[in-house]
Chains A and B, each alone.
Chain A
Amino acid sequence: DSGTGLHHCGEMFRAVFRLSATGARTPVATRCYSHGKVESDEEFDARWVTYFSKPDIDAWELKKGMNTLIGYDLVPEAKILDSALRACRRLNDMASAIRILEAIKDKAGPHKDIYPYLIQELKPTLTELGISTPEELGMDRL
């Protein structure tokens, strides 16, 4: 899916966090590729939510999906992460759920306000599933 890879290069937060002060986002129409339909943010999000929502998702698919998603130049939306965390629940994989939270905090990089926002958005899911954040477990410190 190299088209979507190119699509995301050079722009952070494409699918998330309209509160950020990084200024105007470039409208999608001015991207310069030679061909190919442009996927909107909503389509991207929906595609990934569907991917993780597969009822009989297997461990490999979860790993592949997460590793690919983290490879993109963006921090995933809360709804994608919610879907991924529920996939962890179906796979009885608590460790991966915590790992995912660590990964998105790392993904946000210097933008320290993204992770607390995402945790706030995911709080209902975290309490419902009983997932502790790395901070609650003291794993964010050495």
Chain B
Amino acid sequence: MLRLVSGRVSGLLARRVTPAVCTSSARPASHGHDVSPAVDMSRPMYWDRRDVPLPDRPFRDELSAGDKSLKEKEKGSWKQLSNEEKIALYRLSFNQTYAEMKRPSAEWKTVLGGVFIFLGFTGLVVWWQRVYVYPPAPRTFDPEWQQKQVQRMLDMRVNPVEGFSAKWDYEKKQWK
């Protein structure tokens, strides 16, 4: 048992010794196969934001030959560009259009569903408590006891002006 534990501890220590401090841009191909490629934070970044229409850099940096010739054509009159070419130029510089940025998501369904699930679960817990945890009700809750209690309250004239006994008709011996 002791040997197992020490084996585990040494394993942990051994793992810690391996250099885990790779700089993002210099990560060799042999490391981090399961990790997504690190973003180079030292360069200007691209983002789609409604309040920043023109980000710091174009979306696509590396252009194919076709893209480059399109960029050359862009230097001439824009009336020569077809709609598809204009869209292609847009997509080179930008990732999502405003319509795509602003598209609604279905997240609200997940949120509402989660809320109801937890409420339901809570309800089940409360029900279980009611059945298995609560002690039996006191005898003062029995219907017979309650009847005698009401009669006693009426005899005592509890709140006779505006409240309890005021609603009882003492002549006819019934509620008003």
Question: What is A's interface to B at a CB cutoff of 8 Å?
Answer: 62-63, 66-67, 70-71, 89, 92-96, 98-100, 102-103, 105-106, 129-132, 134, 136-142
Q: How many angstroms between the C-alpha atoms of A139 and B90 in the bound complex?
A: 10
Query: Which of B53, B58, B83, B99 has a CB less than 8 Å from the CB of A142?
Result: B99
A62 to B54 alpha-carbon distance, docked (Å):
9
In the A-B complex, the 9 residue pairs with the smallest Cβ-Cβ separation, listed nearest first, are: A130-B78, A95-B93, A130-B79, A103-B53, A63-B54, A102-B98, A95-B90, A92-B75, A139-B97
Are B54 and A129 touching (Cβ within 8 A)? no
Interface, chain B (partner A; CB < 8 A): 50-56, 58, 71, 74-75, 77-81, 83, 86-87, 89-90, 92-94, 97-100, 102-103
- State whether A96 and B54 are in contact (beta carbons under 8 Å apart), knowing that A130-B78, A130-B79, A132-B86 are contacts in the complex: yes
| CB <8 Å contact, A99 and B53 | yes
A92 touches B103 (CB 8 A): no
**What residues of A have a CB within 8 angstroms of the CB of B93 in the complex?**
93, 95-96, 99
Contact in complex: A94, B89 (CB < 8 Å): yes
For residue A67, which residues in chain B have a CB less than 8 angstroms away from its CB?
51-54
User: How many A-B contacts at CB < 8 Å in the complex?
Assistant: 83
Roughly how many angstroms separate A55 CA and B51 CA in the complex, as a whole number? Answer: 26
CB atoms of A130 and B77 under 8 A apart: yes
Q: How far is the CA of A91 from the CA of B55 in the complex (A)?
A: 16
Q: Among B51, B55, B58, B99, find the residue whose CB has the most chain A CB atoms closer than 10 A.
A: B99
Alpha-carbon distance A100/B94, docked complex (angstroms): 12
Other A-B pairs beyond A103-B53, A137-B83, 17, CB < 8 Å: A63-B54, A63-B55, A67-B51, A92-B75, A95-B58, A95-B90, A98-B86, A99-B94, A102-B53, A102-B98, A106-B102, A132-B83, A134-B99, A136-B83, A139-B87, A139-B99, A142-B103
Please state if B98 and A103 are interface contacts (CB–CB under 8 Å).
yes
Residues of A within 8 A of B102 (CB): 106
CB-CB under 8 A from B100, the residues of chain A are: 142
Which residues of the partner chain A approach B94 to less than 8 Å between Cβ atoms? Answer: 95, 99
Is A130's CB under 8 angstroms from B81's CB? Answer: yes
